[in-house]
Each structure stands twice: as C-alpha cells, then as structure tokens.
C-alpha cells in the first residue's frame, strides 16, 4: 500500500512504534542507515511489541540504495517548512512518505532530492519546533489510507 521511509532515525521507540504502524496498516517501513540504535534495543522491541514479524521492514545502507529498491514514482517529504498541507495531497498506493531524523529533520540535500515530489507539512502551533516522528508518520499514513477507504481494513 503506502511506504514509510525514515531517513537515519535516532530514537528506537519511534521506530518501534512505526513497525507497529506498518503492521497494523499494511504499509511498508524502510529505514536508511545509519540508525541511532540496533535492533536488539529493548525500547525498540517494547514499542513494536509482537508486531515485528507482521511488518514489512527493510533497512538500506544509504538513500541511493533506498531509491533503487523503492523505485518511487512519488515521494512526499514531511518537513516543518513544507509548502503543501498533508491533507492537500491525493495519495496513491506505492507513494513514499519520507521523514527525517528526530533531532534535526530532513537535511536540505534530502528535501531537495530529485526523487521528492513535494515537501509536505503537518499543521502545528508556530511556537513549537516539531511533532514526534512516530506520531507524524501515523497521521500521514492514516490520511493516505483514509483517502482509499481504509482498503483491506476491518471497519
């Protein structure tokens, strides 16, 4: 369905929650190294609970390897300086939803990568820096899935 791409995630709990999100929604989760944790981290395992075996998860050594594996037609880079609201995108199956590391977000060279279709933002109060990575991914995936009638879900 939809593909979540975390570029160099740092916090194991966020990735664990994204593993669970991927399993529950049928999305794929792709991670670009270096990761700020290893897969034996107890916080990663606890956040993902028993969903690790149910999720499609792939780790890529770098962004170019991820692009080669994903061969995306459309990539939406979620960033606080995006010029398109996440609700204004007409998501299609196979779209890549790209998120940056928790401490700094997507670097300029990734936001401006030729694979990126649009830079997308989630609304938030202007005095705050950013929303949690796993929460941001959840909002985006559920909006994309909602637009397709929650295909495959038990409603």
Q: What is the C-alpha to C-alpha distance for residues 23 and 33, in angstroms, rounded to an integer?
A: 21
In a domain, 85, yes or no: yes
C-alpha to C-alpha distance for 28 and 55, rounded to whole angstroms = 7
- Name the residue with tokens 């170019």: 64
pLDDT digits 0-9 by tens, 75-109: 999 999 999 999 999 999 999 999 999 999 999 99
Using a 10 angstrom Cβ sphere, with 0-12 exposed, 13-18 middle and 19 or more buried, the burial of residue 39 is middle
| 109 falls within a domain | yes
Q: pLDDT tens digits for 34-52?
A: 998 887 756 556 555 567 7
Q: Is residue 97 part of a domain?
A: yes
Asked, for residue 152, whether it belongs to a domain, the answer is no
Asked, for residue 107, whether it belongs to a domain, the answer is yes
The predicted pLDDT at position 97 comes to 98
User: Quick check: is 154 in a domain?
Assistant: no
In a domain, 137, yes or no: yes
Domain at 100, CATH number: 3.40.1280.10
Structural domain span for residue 84: 3-147
pTM: 0.93
Structure tokens belonging to residue 83? 């010029």
For 51-62, what is each residue's pLDDT tens digit?
777 889 999 999
Number of domains in the chain: 1
């Amino acid at each position: 369905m939809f593909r979540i791409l975390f570029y160099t995630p740092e916090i194991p709990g966020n990735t664990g929650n994204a593993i669970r999100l991927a399993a529950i929604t049928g999305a794929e989760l792709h991670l670009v190294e270096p990761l700020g944790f290893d897969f034996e981290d107890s916080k990663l395992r606890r956040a993902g609970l028993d969903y690790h075996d149910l999720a499609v998860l792939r780790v890529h050594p770098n962004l170019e390897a991820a692009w080669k594996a994903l061969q995306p037609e459309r990539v939406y880079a979620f960033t606080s300086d995006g010029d398109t609201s996440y609700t204004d995108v007409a998501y299609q199956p196979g779209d890549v939803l790209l998120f940056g590391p928790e401490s700094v977000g997507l670097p300029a060279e990734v936001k401006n990568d030729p694979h990126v279709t649009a830079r997308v933002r989630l609304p938030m109060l202007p005095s705050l820096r950013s929303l949690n990575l796993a929460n941001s991914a959840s909002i985006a995936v559920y909006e994309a899935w909602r637009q397709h009638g929650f295909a495959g879900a038990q409603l």
